[in-house]
Structure formats: structure tokens, C-alpha cells
Amino acid sequence: MQESMLNIPDTNRERVVIIGCGFAGLEMAKRLKKSNFQVVLIDKNNYHQFQPLFYQVATAGLEPRDISFPIRKIFHEQKDIIIRISEVIGINAESKTVETTIGNLKYDHLVLAQGATTSYFGLNNVEKFSQPMKSVIEALEVLNSILHNLEDALVNTDPENVDELTKIVIVGGGPTGVELSGALAEMKRYVFPKDYPELDCSRIRIILVEASSRLLGGSSEKSSIKAEKFLKKLGVEIMKDTLVVDYDGSTIKLKDKDSIKSKTLIWAAGIKGNEIQGFPKEVSTKSKLLIVDQFHRVKGYNNIYAIGDVAAMISDKWPAGYPQVAQVAIQSARNLASNLINEKKGRNSKPFHYFDWGTMATVGRNKAVVDLKYIKFQGVIAWFAWMFIHLRSIFGVKNKILILINWIWSYITYDQSLRLTFLPKNFRFSRKD
């Protein structure tokens, strides 16, 4: 394929190619506007996704459109940002070329911000039968699965089958697992009894499985304990120090513990970098993250950079790299963009130092835990702080208003109004012949 197939104009300006439009790639492109670079932004989707609220799509609290934003609309006023929707196949560092499904593209500077995907730690059956939640589409699939299983439970006469259909197991006690468990527990209490009055909703069980000794490993011990207390009060069953070793779509096998029978296994236990072909193995960690120096340069390369979830900036304080959260991605993008601009002006680049603003997680209605730099608090105030910060971070006035309306409605009515299921092609309702 030739570069001309991408229909990108020739220029005497240096070209910065950014792969991925998550928090890191989007911030990078915004910072390079009017910078005298030709900026080409490549993503396989034509929208940016607000990942922290995926769980609300999975629990019918928000619509996918509320947390998805068209990339081209974001850059309406930046005509110097060139956008191409395509998948990246590989990198040829020697010829400074990016190979995509629609053509090849030369670069002067390459910024890898393609993010991370779900890691199953080599558990092939778990990968085949469980449900991840790393995209809006996957969040919708989680919701579909839960609602279809409840429909099946409603017409099933075998108690064992009903137990399997009404048991929801979430693996991973990080923010995603905790927030999803709390939201599902609220639905069990306030929503499902009204939707399924013929079903004994007390039989619905929500089980959170965590491999380590505590939830929210990146938060303070106080917040971890408080989050666990909140979840237990909501009726969530918590299994710590528990490893999943296999799953066949019906039986979840645990290491040194009794198996769990369930038709729903939601996997939120690990992540790995989205790989792009063209790099030797030594530039990546075991989790497929690209090893970078303090200037975001991929190990062994001067003009290839990695930022966001796909990057591992290893130090004594952070031996596994910085946490894969939005603030690291955004701050990394700002630093790299500034360095590229300064370098062009003959100024020195600045090494990256992450400023940790803290962590937060919501645990159902009126409950959250917040660990900020200098203060930690939990409960109702933390919940409102969580709402404010996330609402402030959402793109677009329209989206902010829609989300606020949905949150207010849910708060007043104890209800979510978006419980729609979409049947995939060739779907067939299960029945007993």
C-alpha cells in the first residue's frame, strides 16, 4: 500500500503520528494544535470513550452515547489535526513507517497511545467464556447477558439452573469490580424486583472475587476497608485471596476452594498492553507494556514514544510503572507534547514526574471512597465529590447535561431507565425441549 491511499497532504512540517485516541492520545493531539507540526491521529474507532463510566453503561445507568464522543467533532476547530479511522498493523522503525489497514504512513515522530486490553493471565477458557469490560460495546454485552439470563431464569423450572442464571460473579477487586458490584447490588434491591415481580430476586447473588488480601489495592487501607463494608451492607458477597483457574461457561473453578456455578462471569482482573507488531521482545514487559524512559521514549528508539496505559515508566518508586489511570495518561501527554514543542524551538526537554492527585471509587448510591493527595474521606460527601469530578471531566455541554439528568433521575426514583437488550444476529432464546 502507498501512503497516498490515506490522502494525507505533503508538507515541509515535521509529522507527528499519534496512534490511539484514549485519554493520552486525545490530550496529545489537543496540545499539539497550532504547534507547526502536521499531526495525524489514527484510531480504529471514530469516537473517544470515557472509560471510568463503562460500568454505568453495563448497569443501565447511562447510554453509550453519553460517554462516547465523535473524534472529528472534538477537533472541529483544529483543521491542522488530520484524522484517519483505521487499524494499525505494524511499525517499521527503520523506514519510519506505520502500516495500517488503509495504507502506509511516514512519520517523523511516532506516539503510541493505543491503550491496554484485558489480560486473562493465560486462562484460555476464561477468555473464551467470560465477559470483559474494556469498551462501550463490551459494557453493553455485559448488560445484555445479565438481562437475558434473568429472562431465562423467569421461565426455568429447574432450581439449579435458576441459581446459575441469577448468580453474577465479578472477578477483580479494583475500581471497576467494586463500582460494578455496588451498582448491580443497587439494581437487585431497587430495580429487578419491579422488572421481574414473578422472580424471587432474593436468589440473585452478586459475588466479587479478588486474588489479593484486600479490595482497591491502589487506595489507602482505610478506603479499602470502608469499600468492603459498603459492599457487604449492599449484600455483595466478597471472596478475597481467591484465584480463578478455569471457567467453562457454567462452572468457575477456584484454586483450593469450592467451585462456583454461574452463567455470568465478568472479568475485570487484569490488563495488558495492546500490541503492535514491529518491536523486539526486550522493549516490553511481561504485560506487553512498552518500556519507556523519563522522556517517554520507547527503549532503544529516539523518535518513538509511548504514553498512557501502554507505557511502563519504571523507577525505584514505581517498579511496575505508573498506575494505568486517566491522570497518568493526561499528564504524560502534556509533558511529551511540551517536550516536542520545546525541542523544535531548541529548548531542553523535561523528564516526566507524575503528580498523584489520588484515587476514588463509588460504591452504590450515596457511597464512595476518595483518597486525595492530602485528605481521605468516605461516604455521602465522597460520592458527591466523585460525581462532580467525573461530570467535570466529560466532554461536551450536552453530554454533561444528559448524564446529570440520568443521575438525578436515578437518585430520585431509585431506578435506571435504560434497561434495553439488543439481540445479536442468529440469537435464539434458550428453552427446554
Task: Please write the tens of the pLDDT for every residue from 323-343.
Answer: 999 999 999 999 999 999 999
If asked whether residues 204 and 249 sit together in one domain, one would say yes
pLDDT one-digit tens code per residue, 130-164:
999 999 999 999 999 999 999 999 999 999 999 99
200-258: per-residue pLDDT in tens? 999 999 999 999 999 999 899 999 999 999 999 999 999 999 999 999 999 999 999 99
* Domain presence at residue 114: yes
258 in the same domain as 160: yes
30 located within any domain: yes
Catalytic residue numbers read: 179
Structure-block grid coordinates of residue 261 = 456455578
Looking at the fold, whether 247 and 261 belong to one and the same domain comes out as: yes
- Give the integer Cα–Cα distance in Å for 298 and 114: 14
Gap between the Cα atoms of 280 and 423, Å rounded: 42
Looking at residue 296, which CATH number applies to its domain? 3.50.50.60
What distances in angstroms separate CA 87 from CA 20, 46, 327, one per listed residue? 10, 11, 26
- Residue 104 sits in the same domain as residue 243: no
Verify that 399 and 338 share a domain, yes or no: no
Task: Give dist(CA 369, CA 379) in Å, integer.
Answer: 7
User: How high is the pLDDT of residue 405?
Assistant: 87
DSSP 79: T
What is d(CA 341, CA 363) in angstroms, rounded to the nearest whole number?
42
In a domain, 8, yes or no: yes
Same-domain pairing of 196 and 207: yes
User: Which range (92-101, 127-136, 286-295, 406-415) has the least confidence?
Assistant: 406-415
Domain enclosing residue 215, as ranges: 124-269+359-413
Together in a domain, 251 and 128? yes
What one-character-per-residue DSSP string does 299-368 give? TT-SSEEE-GGGEE---SS-TT-S--SHHHHHHHHHHHHHHHHHHHTTPPP--------EEEEE-STT-E
349 within a domain of the structure (yes/no): no
Quick one: 415 exposed, middle or buried, by C-beta within 10 A (0-12, 13-18, 19+)? Answer: middle
SS3 272: strand
Q: Residue 5: what pLDDT?
A: 57
Average pLDDT over residues 383-391: 91
Pair (252, 307) in one structural domain: no
In a domain, residue 424? The reply is no
Instruction: Classify residue 10 by its DSSP letter.
Output: P
Q: Are residues 219 and 112 in the same domain?
A: no
User: What pTM was computed for the model?
Assistant: 0.91
Mean pLDDT of the 287-310 span: 97
Residue 340 lies inside a defined structural domain of this protein: yes
Give the rounded percent of residues in the chain with a pLDDT score beyond 90: 79
Residues in the chain: 433
Averaged pLDDT for residues 391-400: 85
Tens-digit pLDDT profile for residues 169-183? 999 999 999 999 999
How high is the pLDDT of residue 10?
83
Same domain, 259 and 287: no
Q: What is the CATH number of the domain that holds 149?
A: 3.50.50.100
Asked if residue 402 and residue 307 are part of one domain, the reply reads no
Count structural domains, the chain. 2
C-alpha–C-alpha distance, residues 217 and 336, integer Å: 29
Closest to 112 in 3D by CA, of 324, 314, 276: 276
Per residue in 10-47, pLDDT tens? 888 999 999 999 999 999 999 998 888 999 999 999 99
pLDDT of residue 426: 54
Residue 261 CA to chain centroid, in angstroms?
27
Residue 252 within a domain: yes
- Average pLDDT on 340-368 reads 93
Is residue 432 scored above 50 in pLDDT?
A: no
In a domain, 397, yes or no: yes
Q: Are residues 368 and 300 in the same domain?
A: no
